[in-house]
Amino acid sequence: MKKPSWLRKEYLRDIVFNADTPIGHRIDIAIIIAISISLIIMFVETLQGLHPVVKLVLEVLEMLLTLVFTIEYAARLYSAERPHSYAFSLWGVIDLIAVLPPYLTIVLPGARYMLMLRSIRFLRIFRIFRLFSFIDEGHMLLRAIGRSFRKIAVYFLFVFVLVLCLATLMYMIESGEPDSAFTDIGTSIYWAVTTLSTVGYGDITPVTFGGRMLSAFIMLLGYTLIAVPGGIVTASFINETNAPVRDGRCPRCGSKVRKNDRFCSQCGEKL
Amino acid sequence: MKKPSWLRKEYLRDIVFNADTPIGHRIDIAIIIAISISLIIMFVETLQGLHPVVKLVLEVLEMLLTLVFTIEYAARLYSAERPHSYAFSLWGVIDLIAVLPPYLTIVLPGARYMLMLRSIRFLRIFRIFRLFSFIDEGHMLLRAIGRSFRKIAVYFLFVFVLVLCLATLMYMIESGEPDSAFTDIGTSIYWAVTTLSTVGYGDITPVTFGGRMLSAFIMLLGYTLIAVPGGIVTASFINETNAPVRDGRCPRCGSKVRKNDRFCSQCGEKL
Amino acid sequence: MKKPSWLRKEYLRDIVFNADTPIGHRIDIAIIIAISISLIIMFVETLQGLHPVVKLVLEVLEMLLTLVFTIEYAARLYSAERPHSYAFSLWGVIDLIAVLPPYLTIVLPGARYMLMLRSIRFLRIFRIFRLFSFIDEGHMLLRAIGRSFRKIAVYFLFVFVLVLCLATLMYMIESGEPDSAFTDIGTSIYWAVTTLSTVGYGDITPVTFGGRMLSAFIMLLGYTLIAVPGGIVTASFINETNAPVRDGRCPRCGSKVRKNDRFCSQCGEKL
Amino acid sequence: MKKPSWLRKEYLRDIVFNADTPIGHRIDIAIIIAISISLIIMFVETLQGLHPVVKLVLEVLEMLLTLVFTIEYAARLYSAERPHSYAFSLWGVIDLIAVLPPYLTIVLPGARYMLMLRSIRFLRIFRIFRLFSFIDEGHMLLRAIGRSFRKIAVYFLFVFVLVLCLATLMYMIESGEPDSAFTDIGTSIYWAVTTLSTVGYGDITPVTFGGRMLSAFIMLLGYTLIAVPGGIVTASFINETNAPVRDGRCPRCGSKVRKNDRFCSQCGEKL
């Protein structure tokens, strides 16, 4: 007996994995809308004092969406060229986590597992990153960040060491005070990050004269430090933007381009 | 019988719509001053513990200004080439909202409508944007932002997705605590935006060890993220500023300009 | 009878007004050190719980410094080419305010004037700006800011209008709540500036859902806005720094310079 | 009798001072791991409510690590070309402080010295800077910052003077209020730095109308000021990055390089 066409692996694969075919594109948009709705439901369910009827409607809606996601997961698993590698890939695991909790509530009854399962359910938020498969613009942004990656990493290491030193000094100064908010170095590190990043919640603040002077120094430092990643990324951006004009080379593949070329003749990059 | 000259549509139109004629320019300035005064009155009226005499003076002044704005609105409606399209344009609606409330208090008496009408009155704040009709400098600013618009939009989408993920993770970690400030995901999103933007009110703060470590991570992330729109806008600005010198082309229309030209010969853009 | 040399106006003028002569330079440094000491005394005197002996020592020291400043003020007034224009210049008024209060306490006895005179005394802080007469480096900084001045002014006008609109909207949303911190539009403006500048004290925070969503929007806006003056100043800086290399002209006077010149041949600007 | 090879000064010096030899490199990594572990132990010990057994294990571990650091210190002192200059160098003093406290507790018993010694112990945090001996990337970062150093110093002097003036003005305005948080000018300076750097803890906030308006002004100023060091560092960075391409010279030694050179032929700098 011949399989119906929509059951053939190649056909399914086109639909669920390939957003370039017309039907695949439409299915992709439908899935993203379904994900968005399921996230909104998840968010609304955390509100306190919901009417029981609203709660019921949300739960039914969620069950339907879970069914849709289950079918999608099954289709992906069935049609994948290497089902094994999909199942254990990051996306495969996130897709599985997104559908599993409701079924587990049936298999593992009782309030004990309930809470943990509800908590795991929140991880489906990561499915929202699918959204980025639609955007071309992100490319240049990521490339500029990618180019600066090592410099930014070194910079972060420097900030991290600075945070450790400042947190330890503040603990030395402030922990002697009665009712000090600096109870341990972990708290002190949290405070140092809050201050250096100029967030400044104010839940932990210095009260001694020495502590306040050190804080003022840290803030002025943070003020200058905040400029450094900006300088790195901006320098990278300007190089990125100006490169084709200045040295007549494609910013992607490095091959020569002429002044009036609008696309690289070797790799098709838009100039 | 012949209409007096100030009643002819063409003449009125020159006065109320066209700021280029000498009289239109003077009327325009007078209207902006009147708007500013009416806004100051509106602000002062919200102060608590005003003397009854001051209150009365302010109300009389406001009534007079409302009369002026009514005449202006009528003149605009009467002299507009297409009165219909002016009445339903954004500016038309704002102008109407600015004059309507006092008249409605006569038509709809009683305290019930009073509060709503007083509230609507505040929307006249948007008339202040008229101010920008006077400034030439804003052009380059808006063009630089406009050029970067798509990149900034993609960036904001990225920040928004990040905010959703972080808010959900923090809700997972913190909501279990007794007396947690993270009561629902809406609150958690508000907290995540407050933190990523480095505002940090401190009305909602993490109390668990895990929550504090995640917060510290978010802050360092926000620290780097803050550099990205800066990089985008700056790159755009520098291109904007350097373009004529570097590639000998007008930044507005793209036609060739010579090195010593001070204005583009095709579109008149100042170089 | 012949005047002694140090009483001749020309000689005195060289000392108190001209920091270029060796003796004038030394006197200038001495005066700045005296100002710094008088400021430190002023700051220490505001501390609560000072020992009476310390208080006495500080008061005696201050009296001596006041004497020094009085002599300096008299010398300036006596030797100035146009004493009248010095006395009514900004610096002349500040110098006068810095020495007057102690003498007024003798003329106007009684506790009534005491407090006001002590308060006026604080205005001598502005004498610290004398410090900048020593620094050459500030030039380029001020020029870069000066070049961007108009653009930054327009930008501030835009931010100001935005602040007014946001403050009014938040007042509309939040003032209806019982115990709302948004008591009047003045407070609301203060809150809007605190939020847009990402300072975020947390003394005034939104409590309604609508208010929080609007706040989150304002913060993301402030996040982008913060990039704009950075873009303006950086673009100006880079032009400032690159200009001599790129277009072979002096950044100060605009005359042509050759590639290996280290100073402009026309105005002596360091390249 | 001949000394065993590992006791010869030259051999030891290679191990403890020179990270370029294979064995020196391995020893260096081992020492950094040991430092990291000792820091983690130090941090964990500040936590309250630790189990006595955990405390004991940590103390034993710390004693072992102190032994390792003592041997390292002795080896460095013994093998240094000029032991005297090492002992009194910054690194020598930090290394000594890191090992001394446990021995001093034996020499100076009693609870009186205990607290001071525990406090001194925290200074070993500075040994973490050893980490930077591993990173090549930091070079360019430091050079860009170094180039901008004088400009940033002038800028900081300007910010400092501004902070003093604003702090004094706020003290004048706010200190008259009952229960004002602005108790003295030291506190006022702390507040001014907190605000200008956009940290904004909220532990000290203005309550008068005048104070709030001045605060709003300070914040908008801080908003613009935050752009200046960004502009300085970015301009330096872009010059740093673009220099070899633009003027065909090595950014390190200044000698001429050809367009396709990947390293400077004079100093080996990567281009």
- Write the pLDDT tens digit of every residue in D178-201: 888 888 888 999 999 999 888 889
For residue D113, count other CB atoms closer than 10 A to its CB.
14
Provide the mean pLDDT of chain D. 76
Judge: C220–B128 Cβ closer than 8 Å, yes or no.
no
Residues D119 and D152 in one domain: no
Which structure tokens are listed for C169?
Answer: 């909207």
- At position D117, the amino acid (one-letter code) is L
Residues C114 and C141 in one domain: no
Cβ-Cβ contacts under 8 Å for C150 (sequence gap 6 or more)? B137
Phi/psi zone of residue A250: left (φ > 0), alpha (ψ -120 to 50 degrees), beta? beta
Q: Give the residues across from A249 on adjacent strands.
A: A256
Number of domains in chain C: 2
Please report whether residue D250 resides in a domain. no
Provide the mean pLDDT of chain C. 76
Percent of chain B residues topping a pLDDT of 70: 69
Most confident segment among B45-49, C70-74, C102-106, D110-114: C70-74
Q: B234 to chain D: which residues are within 8 Å by CB?
A: 234
Which structure tokens are listed for D232?
Answer: 């300085």
Mutate which of D212, D238, D239 to test chain C, going by most C C-beta atoms within 10 A? D212
Residues D153 and D88 in one domain: no
Residues A19-43 have a mean pLDDT of 83
Residue B154 has pLDDT above 80, yes or no: no
Closest Cα of chain B to D145: distance in Å?
A: 17
Q: Which CATH number is C223's domain given?
A: 1.10.287.70
Residue C138 has pLDDT above 50, yes or no: yes
The C-alpha atoms of residue C248 and residue C237 are separated, in whole angstroms, by 17
**Residue A124, pLDDT score:** 76
Phi/psi zone of residue A254: left (φ > 0), alpha (ψ -120 to 50 degrees), beta? left
Nearest CA in chain A to B248: A245
Residues A188 and A226 in one domain: yes
Judge: B126–C165 Cβ closer than 8 Å, yes or no.
yes
Q: C128 to chain D: which residues are within 8 Å by CB?
A: 161, 164-165
Please report whether residue C88 resides in a domain. yes
Q: Give the residues across from D249 on adjacent strands.
A: D256
Residues D211/D170, Cβ–Cβ less than 8 Å: yes
Judge: C230–D227 Cβ closer than 8 Å, yes or no.
yes
Please report whether residue C264 resides in a domain. no
Residues B142 and B227 in one domain: yes
Largest CA distance in chain C: 86
Residues A148 and A90 in one domain: no
The C-alpha atoms of residue B232 and residue A234 are separated, in whole angstroms, by 7
Residue B181 has pLDDT above 70, yes or no: yes
For residue A183, count other CB atoms closer than 10 A to its CB.
15
Please report whether residue B210 resides in a domain. yes
Residue, of A186 and C254, whose pLDDT is higher: A186
Buried residues in A187-218 as b, exposed as e (16+ CB within 10 A): bbbbbbbbbbbbbbbbbbbbeeeebbbbbbeb
Q: Which CATH number is D47's domain given?
A: 1.20.120
Confidence of residue D237 (pLDDT cuts 50, 70, 90): low
What is the span of the domain harbouring residue D35?
5-130
Residue A133 has pLDDT above 80, yes or no: no
Residue A141 has pLDDT above 80, yes or no: no
D56: burial class by Cβ within 10 Å (0-12, 13-18, 19+)?
exposed
Residues D158 and D227 in one domain: yes
Residues C2-11 have a mean pLDDT of 69
Phi/psi zone of residue A82: left (φ > 0), alpha (ψ -120 to 50 degrees), beta? beta
Residues C58/C87, Cβ–Cβ less than 8 Å: no
Of chain C, the end-to-end C-alpha distance in Å amounts to 54
Residues A159 and A121 in one domain: no
Confidence of residue A122 (pLDDT cuts 50, 70, 90): confident
Residues B126 and B54 in one domain: yes
Please report whether residue D246 resides in a domain. no
Of A200, A230, A234, the CB nearest to C200: A200
Residues D148 and D216 in one domain: yes
Interface of A with B in 186-225 (CB under 8 A): 186-187, 189-190, 193-194, 196-203
Of chain B, the end-to-end C-alpha distance in Å amounts to 54
SS3 of A118-132: HHHHHHHHHHHHHHH
**Of the given ranges (A52-56, A212-216, D194-198, D220-224), which has the lowest mean pLDDT?**
D220-224
Residues D195/D215, Cβ–Cβ less than 8 Å: yes
Which structure tokens are listed for A159?
Answer: 């900030």
Residues A222-239 have a mean pLDDT of 69
Give residue for tokens 């053939």. A8
Closest Cα of chain C to B74: distance in Å?
A: 25
Nearest CA in chain D to A155: D138
Of B190, B193, B229, the CB nearest to C227: B229
Query: Is any Cβ of chain C less than 8 angstroms from the Cβ of B184?
Result: no
Please report whether residue C253 resides in a domain. no
Residue C260 has pLDDT above 60, yes or no: no
Q: C234 to chain A: which residues are within 8 Å by CB?
A: 234
Angle at B87 between CA B82 and CA B89, to 5 degrees: 95
Return the closest-CA partner of residue D165 out of C124, C145, B8, B114.
C124
The C-alpha atoms of residue B233 and residue B236 are separated, in whole angstroms, by 5
Return the closest-CA partner of residue A215 out of D122, D123, C196, D195.
D195
Query: Residue A19's Cα: distance from chain center in Å?
Result: 21
Q: Give the residues across from B263 on adjacent strands.
A: B270
Q: D226 to chain A: which residues are within 8 Å by CB?
A: 223, 226
Return the closest-CA partner of residue A146 out of A222, A248, A239, A245.
A239
Nearest CA in chain D to C121: D172
DSSP for D18-49, written as a single string: -TTSHHHHHHHHHHHHHHHHHHHHHHHHTSSS
Closest Cα of chain C to B193: distance in Å?
A: 6
Interface of A with D in 116-175 (CB under 8 A): 150-151, 153-155, 157-158, 161, 164-165, 168-169, 171-172, 175
Of the residues C94, C109, C130, which one is the last residue of a structural domain?
C130
Alpha carbon of C120 to those of B257, C126, C186, C188, C271: distances in Å? Answer: 59, 12, 27, 31, 45
Confidence of residue C191 (pLDDT cuts 50, 70, 90): very high
Closest Cα of chain B to A193: distance in Å?
A: 6
In the Cβ-directed half-sphere of D248, how many Cα atoms lie within 13 Å?
A: 6
Phi, psi angles (nearest 5°) of residue A137 = -65, -30
In the Cβ-directed half-sphere of D56, how many Cα atoms lie within 13 Å?
A: 3
Residues D83 and D190 in one domain: no
Which structure tokens are listed for D35?
Answer: 């430092």
The C-alpha atoms of residue C85 and residue A104 are separated, in whole angstroms, by 88
Is B263 in a helix, a strand, or coil? strand
Residues A149-172 have a mean pLDDT of 81
The C-alpha atoms of residue D196 and residue D170 are separated, in whole angstroms, by 13
Of D128, D135, D186, the CB nearest to A164: D128
Which structure tokens are listed for B252?
Answer: 């507005």
Of the residues C130, C147, C162, which one is the last residue of a structural domain?
C130
**Of the given ranges (B245-254, C209-218, D85-94, D104-113), which has the lowest mean pLDDT?**
B245-254
Of the residues B114, B130, B146, which one is the last residue of a structural domain?
B130
The C-alpha atoms of residue C52 and residue B192 are separated, in whole angstroms, by 52
For residue D77, count other CB atoms closer than 10 A to its CB.
16
Please report whether residue B270 resides in a domain. no
Neighbours of chain A (3+ CB pairs under 8 A): B, C, D
Angle at A86 between CA A84 and CA A87, to 5 degrees: 65
Nearest CA in chain B to C197: B199
**Of the given ranges (A57-66, A140-149, B140-149, C133-142), which has the lowest mean pLDDT?**
C133-142
Give residue for tokens 């005003």. B50
Residues D216/D179, Cβ–Cβ less than 8 Å: no
The C-alpha atoms of residue D206 and residue D216 are separated, in whole angstroms, by 10
Query: Is any Cβ of chain D less than 8 angstroms from the Cβ of C271?
Result: no
Residues C46-52 have a mean pLDDT of 84
Residues A74-87 have a mean pLDDT of 86
Please report whether residue A140 resides in a domain. yes
Residues B153 and B234 in one domain: yes
C109: burial class by Cβ within 10 Å (0-12, 13-18, 19+)?
exposed
Judge: B198–D202 Cβ closer than 8 Å, yes or no.
no
Q: C202 to chain A: which residues are within 8 Å by CB?
A: 201-202
Percent of chain C residues topping a pLDDT of 70: 69
